[in-house]
């Protein structure tokens, strides 16, 4: 695994102390067999072929419907060591703000 995909010699994963991608829900993506993606395709793909996915997340301390955005390299490995878990209400608020930004930008 490339050095950029490691933190303290540990490969990045879709899990941390409290949360992990819920691989029993959603869709598969890339070459992986595990589920977890909300959508069939990436939210976006960067010029370096890294892709950004919205994934279902399980809280190890209790069941809650949460999500996170996860970047993957072209081989399907996570490329960031940090996560930002968000709820459906927070996604709605982000969408509202982004829609307002896009509307202002296009005027």
Q: What is the pLDDT of residues 13-40, one digit of tens each?
A: 677 788 888 888 899 876 767 788 999 9
Q: What does the alpha-carbon distance between residue 106 and residue 30 come to, in Å, rounded to a whole number?
A: 33
> What pLDDT score does 91 carry?
94
Give me 103's structure tokens: 């509307």
Q: Domain segments of the chain: what residues? A: 3-106
> What pLDDT score does 95 carry?
93
Q: What does the alpha-carbon distance between residue 47 and residue 25 come to, in Å, rounded to a whole number?
A: 29
Give me 74's structure tokens: 């072209």
How confident is residue 2, by pLDDT bands cut at 50, 70 and 90?
A: very low
How confident is residue 7, by pLDDT bands cut at 50, 70 and 90?
A: low
> What pLDDT score does 70 carry?
87
> What pLDDT score does 104 carry?
66
Q: Are 16 and 83 in contact (CB under 8 A)?
A: yes
Count Cβ atoms below 10 Å from residue 92 Cβ, excluding itself. 10
Single out the residue of 64, 40, 34, 66 nearest to residue 53, CA to CA.
Answer: 40
Compare 22 and 103 and report the one with higher pLDDT. 22
Q: Are 39 and 91 in contact (CB under 8 A)?
A: no
Q: Are 55 and 34 in contact (CB under 8 A)?
A: no
Q: Express each pLDDT in 46-92 by its tens digit.
A: 999 999 999 999 888 877 789 999 888 887 778 876 778 899 999 99
């Amino acid at each position: 695994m490339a050095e950029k995909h490691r933190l303290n010699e540990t490969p990045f994963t879709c899990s941390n102390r409290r949360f992990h991608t819920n691989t029993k829900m959603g869709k598969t993506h890339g070459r992986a067999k595990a589920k977890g993606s909300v959508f069939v395709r990436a939210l976006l793909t960067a010029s370096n072929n890294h892709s950004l996915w919205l994934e279902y997340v399980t809280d190890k301390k209790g069941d809650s419907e949460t999500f996170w955005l996860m970047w993957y390299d072209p081989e399907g490995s996570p490329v960031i060591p940090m996560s930002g878990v968000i709820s459906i209400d927070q996604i709605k608020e982000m969408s509202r703000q982004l829609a307002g930004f896009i509307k202002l930008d296009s005027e």
